[in-house]
Amino acid sequence: MAARMWRLTAVVMGLVAAVGFTPEQVAAAPITLWDLNSSVTIDPNGEDGMINWVVDETDHMVQQWFWYRIGSNGPETPINRLGDLSVKLSDADFDPNFETLSLRYAGTDVQLDVVFTLNGSNPGNHRSDIAESITITNLTGSEMDLHFFQYCNLDLDGTAEDANAEITGGNTAVQRDETVWASETVITPRPSHVQVAFYDAILQSLKDANATTLNDNAGPVGPGDLSWAFQWDFTIGAGESVLISKDKAIVPEPATLAVLGTGAVLLLRRRRSRG
């Protein structure tokens, strides 16, 4: 199934580049962004959302996506059910690949604009970064009580069992494994609630019929199959918008990074000695 999905994505991206299909015409397919050593696959029509984050041939992502609720009563709804979808792909560095995906979900009451920008690094660095922004617009003529959620389940190093996860400072999620760490920092605004838990407690709370409020357990939790979430509670005026800005990164675990750095120094010394 995964192999078929990747082949389908490659075909779709080729059609966009070579034939000139508009993004809206390929919106039904998962979309892959590429940059240097990294790729990210996002299904804008499914509630799994971001389903791959491959860095130097290792896939660290199971699922990242967004849910929302208007008012105090449940359930929450994944944003892909909101309404009409428009898609835009863009390339900022003039290589053959797209690095930025912009999604617009337009419903009756709410419009959501979500932008993902992938920033890879040189092959072998085991580093990658995704900048994300979400603009939520109240399309109604009255004030809106809106609750917005981001859920994330990472399998660092491609395995479900990770060392631990926690949320520090109220706005930064950190997940660790033996050779790689992942983090996500909310730049603005600070989340109203957070939660770290073993899979799949948070996901089930977002999928049931009840209104969810994250329990503010910031961890650390682990080892095990880990997940975490942010929640924002907004009062949005008629016709007004709010912006969420955040950034997530994958880097080598510090001890591994030190080893990689030592190797680079030794290689540099060898090159100098040969010169």
In a domain, 173, yes or no: yes
pLDDT at 8 over 90: no
* Residue numbers of the domain that contains 81: 30-274
In a domain, 255, yes or no: yes
User: How many domains is the chain built from?
Assistant: 1
> What is the per-residue pLDDT for 28?
58
- Averaged confidence pLDDT in the chain: 87
In a domain, 45, yes or no: yes
The CATH number of the domain holding residue 59 is 2.70.98.40
204-256 residue pLDDT tens = 999 999 999 999 999 999 999 999 999 999 999 999 999 999 999 999 998 54
> What is the per-residue pLDDT for 94?
82
In a domain, 18, yes or no: no
In a domain, 137, yes or no: yes
pLDDT at 12 over 80: no
In a domain, 263, yes or no: yes
In a domain, 2, yes or no: no
Which tops the pLDDT comparison, 265 or 146?
146
54-95 residue pLDDT tens = 999 999 999 999 999 999 999 999 999 998 999 999 998 888
In a domain, 256, yes or no: yes
134-184 residue pLDDT tens = 999 999 999 999 999 999 999 999 999 999 999 999 999 999 999 999 999
SS3 per-residue string spanning the chain? CHHHHHHHHHHHHHHHHHHCCCHHHHCCCCEEEEECCEEEEEECCCCCEEEEEEECCEECEEEEEEEEEECCCCCCEEHHHCCEEEEEEECCCCCCCCCEEEEEEECCCEEEEEEEEEECCCCCCCCEEEEEEEEEEECCCCCEEEEEEEEEEECHHHCCCECEEEEECCCEEEEECCCEEEEEEEEECCCCEEEEEECCHHHHHHHCCCCCCCCCCCCCECCECEEEEEEEEEEECCCCEEEEEEEEEEEECHHHHHHHHHHHHHHHHHHHHHC
> What is the per-residue pLDDT for 152?
98
> What is the per-residue pLDDT for 255?
57
